[in-house]
Structure 1
Amino acid sequence: MDFIELAKKRYSTRNFNNKKVEQVKLEKILEAGRVAPTAANLQPQRILVIKTEAGLEKLKKAGNVYGAQLAFVVCADHSFSWKRAFDGKDTAEIDASIVATHMILEATDLGLNSIWVGYFKPDVIKAEFALPEGVEPINILGIGYSDEERKSPDRHNTERKPLTETVRYETF
């Protein structure tokens, strides 16, 4: 499948069933994150894999993964991230988001469903999963199987703004 087809196929699932994600698929998702580009190739991403019942229960204290049987807490280690010399901009969050995007698209390509969670309590994640100082949870990816009907890739024709509203050439 070509990239645009894959990107349009992916949607947020909020109703996962109890089927476990196979280890081989989990490893492919992690590999997709590993090969993602990061600023200066410093690779500040730190990925916490949560797949046990106990781990998923702890995760529920911080955020909702809608019953997904596999979750990744994608973190950024600020001690390893590139900082822009002109203004000190730390690219850790950007890098972690690029990694998460690669992972979520790989999951889609493997026939899995996903949800990108940004609404969570970072202090609870840090405490429950013993994140070291300087490691910030950036997002949570819920991955699994859903029984709900797949959303049509054609939904982008009506649910997304046209390029004329979001793109400018040469000047704003």
Structure 2
Amino acid sequence: MNFIELAKERYSLRSFDTRKVEKDKLDLILKAGQLAPTAVNYQPQRILIIESDEALAKLKDCTVYHFNAPMALLICANKDEAWKRSYDGKVHTDIDGSIVATHMMLQATELGLGTTWVGHFDPIAVRNAFNIPSNLEPVCIFPIGYPSKDAKPHPNHTKRKDILETVSYNHF
């Protein structure tokens, strides 16, 4: 499948099958994250795999958007290792974590798995539930797994603004 087809096919999965994600597929998803570009190639990403019943129960206390997936990935980035822009000191944890997460999301899609980007979570609850050190910034949570038989994209999934509304040349 070419990239545009893959990008069109991917949608936020909200209805998961109970099947577990195979280790070889998880390994490919993690490899895609490892290969993702980060600022100055500092690679500050830290990925927590949430797969045990106990860990998944903890996740449910941190967000309502877990969708009962059989696994979730918590993507974090290390503030001490992330690149800092010299002009204003912006630390690129959220950007690097997002790039890594996007690579993993698209790899999961190619493997027939579904994900949902969850940014709506209680960061303090996540930090406490999973003993996240203070130097790691939680960026997003990915419930991940196989689509259930009744899974389908949200009706808004295919709605896109005209490209002329989102692209400008040389000035806005």
Partner of 1:108: 109
The answer for unaligned runs of 5 or more in structure 2 is none
Partner of 1:137: 138
**2:90 equivalent to 1:89:** yes
What's the CA shift for 1:150? Answer: 4.1
Separation in structure 1 between the aligned mates of residue 164 and residue 124 of structure 2, nearest angstrom: 40
TM-score, normalising length: structure 2: 0.94
CA-based RMSD of the aligned residues comes to 1.2
Could you tell me which amino acid in structure 2 is paired with residue 38 of structure 1?
Answer: T
State how 1:20-169 maps to structure 2 within 5 Å. 20-63=20-63, 64-147=65-148, 148-151=150-153, 156=158, 159-169=159-169
Deviations 1:129-165 (A, max 9, x none): 111121111100111012224449xx63xx0101010
Separation in structure 1 between the aligned mates of residue 44 and residue 57 of structure 2, nearest angstrom: 27
Separation in structure 1 between the aligned mates of residue 151 and residue 89 of structure 2, nearest angstrom: 45
SS at match of 2:138: strand
Identity of aligned residues (%): 49
Could you tell me which amino acid in structure 1 is paired with residue 42 of structure 2?
Answer: L
Could you tell me which amino acid in structure 2 is paired with residue 162 of structure 1?
Answer: D
The answer for unaligned runs of 5 or more in structure 1 is none
TM-score, normalising length: structure 1: 0.94
